Amino acid sequence: MTDPLLAAVLVGLGGSAGAASRHAVGLRVEGRFSVAVANALGSLALGALLAAPTGSEATLFAAVGFCGAFTTFSSFAVETVSTAADGEGRIAAGFAVANFAAALLAFIVGAAAGGTLVA
């Protein structure tokens, strides 16, 4: 069992790295696609991390902290709603479905990769 103070520090450090990395993606990939890229990459990493036999400290830092801050549901919601509000309802719906599907598929691929790397 991880000490609660250490757990908070690990999540905070991982979250700081994840947030900075998410910002870097936003600088490199334009518009709503940066949200989809971050969510898919974060889901891939999360799947691999949860499938691999990591210790609780690594899970707190990387899975909870980094992936939690790197993936971005709030930006996903803003992009979807603002696209719909701009009169592009079909694009907003397609973006929502594609983002969700890509994140799920990436998680499954990551989990498969994480499980095979340790087998």
Greater confidence, 119 or 107? Answer: 107
Helix H segments across the chain?
4-28, 32-51, 56-58, 68-70, 73-85, 89-118
Question: Which residues fall in the annotated binding site?
Answer: 68, 71
Structure confidence at residue 119 as a pLDDT band (50, 70, 90): very low
Report the percentage of the chain scoring pLDDT > 70. Answer: 97
Question: Which residues fall in the annotated binding site for Na(+)?
Answer: 68, 71
Q: What is the mean pLDDT of residues 51-67?
A: 91
Question: Which amino acid, one-letter code, is at 102?
Answer: A
The pair of three-digit structure tokens given for residue 54, joined into one six-digit string? 């990591």
pLDDT at 2 over 60: yes
